[in-house]
Amino acid sequence: MIQLVRGFKDVLPGEIELWQDIEDIMRNIFEEFGFTQIRTPILERTELFARGIGATTDIVEKEMYTFSDLKNESLSMRPEATASVVRAYIEHKMYAQNPVQKLYSMGPMFRRERPQKGRYRQFYQINAEVFGLYSPKIDAELILILMTLMDRLSLTEVVLHINSLGCERCRPAFKERLQIFLAERIETLCPDCRRRYEVNPLRVFDCKAQGCRESLEGAPTILDHLCEECRNHFNEVRDFLNRFQISYKVNPRLVRGLDYYTRTAFEVLAAHLGAQNAVAGGGRYDGLVKALGGPAQPGVGFAVGLDRLASLLSDRAPGLVKQPNVFIAALGDRAQDRAFVWLQALRFEGIRTEMDVEDRSLKSQMRQADKSGASYVLIVGERELEEGAAVWRDMNTKEQETVPLEEVVEFVKKSVMGIASA
């Protein structure tokens, strides 16, 4: 038997309903907040990610699925969405029409990380990006969108961490300070962090290795080294979060795995997820559009991990498969044919209806009806056709009544809809 590739997975019926619910909720929220959807391809030129994410990040150095296609062009499966959305913003000159664009997207990402619970090599994200606005109001608004999602999913056990990573004016000085601090502890850093120490020492804060964590005790923090503009910006973000009554923890050690972030960075963590506990993350990337060859327009965005959200929710409410409202048990060729037309007519009325088209015994069909979870069964056989009326059975009360054949669709509609709106 041919099996799944390691780190990849199927989302099966029974699980997918939850995914769809999350997507629907998120889509509604985005519409309420004035976002429109964008879909970018899964494959891009490798250079886009090298430049957009940072050539020395773990993602670009070790985790991309990269191959050269026939013309020796290096292509990569996208490991995240922002670089692609920025490329589209630039390539289609979306900024010329209006520099302010509020875009969302949903889809699979690919990273060749070590698979473990909550970490896959193909995983799904919902992404938001806002271009063209420097205001801290937008950072706060994006966090509000994210926390509204958590709220509508009743995920109360999550915590929001926020930080500011400064800008190109204040970060270099901090970087130097941190390097000076780490220089004395270089021996205790892991090999990866020794490299990071050179190029991007802030990322040492992201390392899970025990030695690196210990080395960072007493390290200077970026929050103490922000320039005045960055400090004001951060304070305003916080102020709006307070006004929106969103609770958060300022985490001066929060850095993100991607190089392009400036100022606001945030993450939503869930205690129950174990080691892979980040459900969502995001932040501001004011330099990225320009770095990728576009105009000097700022950006801010987030990514929510759908796999992890679904796993949090499935622990709580398994089996959200939508059950049919009605099952039609039809016996004999004539009844089967008649029922098959009702089946479609009822579906067009928005009533979830099923039947057994293989014309099995009444006993078998009643068993199927029961198993399907349908609230009602419409029974029709030769006798019912002769008498001109089908039998309508309420599966909860077990009560039965007869329905004239000509009135079946109207009757079922009234019964099912009537109950639904009661």
> What residues line the site for ligand AMP (CB under 6 A)?
80, 111, 113, 118-120, 123, 125, 257, 278-281, 303, 305, 307-308
End-to-end Cα spacing for the chain = 50
**Least distance to ligand AMP from the beta carbon of 281, Å?**
4
Radius of gyration from C-alpha coordinates of the chain: 28
Of 361, 376, 367, 400, whose CA–CA distance to 327 is shortest? 376
Whichever of 122 and 372 has its CB closer to ligand AMP, that residue is 122
**Least distance to ligand AMP from the beta carbon of 266, Å?**
10
**Least distance to ligand AMP from the beta carbon of 40, Å?**
15
Which residue number places its CB atom closest to ligand AMP?
305
DSSP-assigned states of every residue in 213-263: HHHTTT---GGGG--HHHHHHHHHHHHHHHHTT---EE-TT---SSTT-EE
Q: What is the 3-state secondary structure (H, E, C) of 9-32?
A: CCCCCCCHHHHHHHHHHHHHHHHH
Whichever of 179 and 277 has its CB closer to ligand AMP, that residue is 277
Whichever of 60 and 278 has its CB closer to ligand AMP, that residue is 278
For residues 193 and 411, what is the distance between their CA atoms, to the nearest angstrom?
A: 70
Whichever of 226 and 279 has its CB closer to ligand AMP, that residue is 279
Structural element, H or E, at residue 101:
strand 101-110
For residues 357 and 364, what is the distance between their CA atoms, to the nearest angstrom?
A: 12
**Partners of residue 327 on adjacent β-strands:** 354, 377
**Least distance to ligand AMP from the beta carbon of 365, Å?**
42
**Least distance to ligand AMP from the beta carbon of 303, Å?**
4
Q: Phi then psi for 217, rounded to 5 degrees?
A: -60, 130
CB atoms within 10 A of CB 345: 15
**Least distance to ligand AMP from the beta carbon of 55, Å?**
17
**Least distance to ligand AMP from the beta carbon of 205, Å?**
14
* Lookup: tokens for 419: 């109950």
For residues 185 and 207, what is the distance between their CA atoms, to the nearest angstrom?
A: 15
* Lookup: tokens for 43: 């494959």
Whichever of 161 and 308 has its CB closer to ligand AMP, that residue is 308
**Least distance to ligand AMP from the beta carbon of 114, Å?**
9
User: SS3 for 59?
Assistant: helix
Whichever of 269 and 339 has its CB closer to ligand AMP, that residue is 269
**Least distance to ligand AMP from the beta carbon of 306, Å?**
8
For residues 157 and 206, what is the distance between their CA atoms, to the nearest angstrom?
A: 23
Whichever of 102 and 161 has its CB closer to ligand AMP, that residue is 161
Whichever of 123 and 376 has its CB closer to ligand AMP, that residue is 123
Q: Which residue has 């961490």 as its token pair? A: 161
Cβ neighbors of 397 (< 8 A, separation 6 or more) are none
Whichever of 62 and 367 has its CB closer to ligand AMP, that residue is 62
Q: Phi then psi for 62, rounded to 5 degrees?
A: -130, -15
**Least distance to ligand AMP from the beta carbon of 370, Å?**
38
Whichever of 113 and 151 has its CB closer to ligand AMP, that residue is 113
Identify whether the C-beta of residue 240 lies closer than 8 Å to the C-beta of residue 278: no
Identify whether the C-beta of residue 185 lies closer than 8 Å to the C-beta of residue 219: no
**Least distance to ligand AMP from the beta carbon of 60, Å?**
13
Whichever of 129 and 307 has its CB closer to ligand AMP, that residue is 307
